[in-house]
Amino acid sequence: MKKKIKKVVLAYSGGLDTSVILKWLQDTYDCEVVTFTADIGQGEEVSPARRKAKMAGVKQIFIDDLREEFVRDFVFPMFRANTVYEGEYLLGTSIARPLIAKRLVEIARETGADAISHGATGKGNDQVRFELGAYALMPEVKVIAPWREWDLLSREKLLAYAEKHGIPVEYKKKKGAAPYSMDANLLHISYEGGVLEDPAFEPEESMWRMTVSPQKAPNRPQTVELEYRRGDIVAINGKKLSPARVLATLNRLGGRHGIGRLDIVENRYVGMKSRGCYETPGGTIMLKAHRAIESITLDREVVALKDDLMPRYARMIYNGYWFSPERTLLQKLIDESQEPVNGKVRVKLYKGSAQVVGRESKRNTLFDTRVASFEDDRGAYNQADAEGFIRLNALRLRIGAQRQRR
């Protein structure tokens, strides 16, 4: 027997899935539904969601512009760690989920709701991310995941349900179009499902939306200068910008030069492998540039420690543990390391590549030209010291070789 639900907050886009979920919640749980639509830079108009929610009888409708919070409090902290999942994926979908979960819980408290609901399927990672985030922030909350309860397990069944209940949807399969499942925000666009479920299938050029083909990118390179303060970009080409404006600008520049396309098979937290294609132009530039500014401002062992911890940090985000105590603790260490990460980086953009061509930090550089120079350093470095250093480090190798001889 289902627990009586009085009010539920639904993460609502106004698309086919969530429009059906809205009606299904009203009928199945006989409860009031509050809708929440987040603008995190997905590039689509979110205001129609208000009209559709009103048509469905929703009285409390939340449409929030979260773009600045998304980049400032989630994307930037992640990039301070140079985060990459399984060597390639820049976690564009993963990092958006804790913010949505956070706002769902806040609205549930504001409206007195006793449940939240989402449209993630029972096969994917997003159900885990939404729910782990919600439980971490509101342990007593009830989560309703329709895809784990109903029998509407295909597009056809969803469309039939919508038609039966008079739900207006704008779901049309364009003739000749590949049926991709897409997720977009200010950091990236992802493409999954349909023909991409065959890992051998090469994506059609028409699929990509944020980037031009590298072959069709401008024949002249473009150099962009990024200014860093405590590990975050604060200006581009000398112009001060907010976090969201920084990422939007880099997306535009990177997209123009065909930067940031990715085609991978990744390991989902629920256990299966999944093929996904991604466009992350701004993030690709950010990762290159951030490692460059760290290369002259961070101690060698600090860089090594961050590199050791990064894969674990990436798994925390990918698997939905943003609000966990271990991620919070690790973030403090990462943020502390960024105090000296100040300066400027120049990146050359050209036909799908982002190449660092210069980095400087007047106040925090650890690069000592006198010591590193191939010219006469006037005693700054005694090359004779290297002999003892090498012999000490070779001691275990020499002992091991002598034992093998015996």
In the chain, where the domains are located: 7-70+89-164, 181-298+340-360, 377-405
33-37, 166-170, 288-292, 351-355, range with the lowest pLDDT: 166-170
pLDDT of 3 strictly over 80: no
Per the annotation, the verdict on 181 as an active-site residue is yes
Per the annotation, the verdict on 97 as an active-site residue is yes
Question: What percent of the chain has pLDDT above 70?
Answer: 97
* pLDDT average, residue stretch 178-195: 88
Other residues' Cβ atoms within 10 Å of the Cβ of residue 55: 12
- pLDDT range class, residue 202, cuts 50, 70, 90: very high
* pLDDT average, residue stretch 51-67: 95
At residue 248's C-alpha, the angle toward residues 126 and 286, to 5°, is: 80
pLDDT of 208 strictly over 90: yes
pLDDT of 178 strictly over 80: no
pLDDT of 2 strictly over 70: no
Read off the pLDDT of residues 359-393 as tens digits, 9 standing for 90 and up.
999 999 999 998 888 888 888 889 999 999 999 99
CATH class of 181-298+340-360: alpha beta
* pLDDT average, residue stretch 331-358: 98
* pLDDT average, residue stretch 209-224: 98
Residue among 105, 103, 77 nearest 91 (CA)? 77
Mean pLDDT over each residue of the chain, to the nearest integer: 94
Helix (H/G/I), strand (E/B), else coil: 193? coil
What pLDDT was estimated at residue 125? Answer: 95
The residue annotated as part of the active site, out of 39, 117, 126, 232, is 126
Read off the pLDDT of residues 115-166 as tens digits, 9 standing for 90 and up.
999 999 999 999 999 999 999 999 999 999 999 999 998 878 999 999 999 9
Q: Are 104 and 8 in contact (CB under 8 A)?
A: no
Q: Are 187 and 282 in contact (CB under 8 A)?
A: yes
- List CB contacts of 109: < 8 A, sequence separation 6 or more: 138
What pLDDT was estimated at residue 176? Answer: 46
The residue annotated as part of the active site, out of 97, 129, 261, 359, is 97
In whole angstroms, what is the distance from residue 303 CA to residue 336 CA? 13
pLDDT of 226 strictly over 70: yes
The residue annotated as part of the active site, out of 13, 17, 190, 291, is 17
pLDDT of 173 strictly over 60: no
pLDDT of 1 strictly over 70: no
Residue with tokens 């289902």: 2
Side-chain-facing half-sphere of 289: CA atoms under 13 Å = 32
Q: Are 152 and 21 in contact (CB under 8 A)?
A: no
Q: Tokens representing 7?
A: 């009010």
Residue 59: what residue type? K
- pLDDT range class, residue 44, cuts 50, 70, 90: confident
Read off the pLDDT of residues 237-281 as tens digits, 9 standing for 90 and up.
999 999 999 999 999 999 999 999 999 999 999 999 999 999 999
- List CB contacts of 378: < 8 A, sequence separation 6 or more: 370
pLDDT of 177 strictly over 60: no
What pLDDT was estimated at residue 179? Answer: 62
Per the annotation, the verdict on 299 as an active-site residue is no
Helix (H/G/I), strand (E/B), else coil: 304? helix
Helix (H/G/I), strand (E/B), else coil: 33? strand
What pLDDT was estimated at residue 171? Answer: 56
* pLDDT average, residue stretch 205-229: 97
- pLDDT range class, residue 406, cuts 50, 70, 90: confident
- List CB contacts of 70: < 8 A, sequence separation 6 or more: 40, 41, 96, 99, 185, 186, 187, 244
* pLDDT average, residue stretch 331-339: 98
What pLDDT was estimated at residue 172? Answer: 52
Question: What is 7-70+89-164's CATH superfamily?
Answer: HUPs (3.40.50.620)
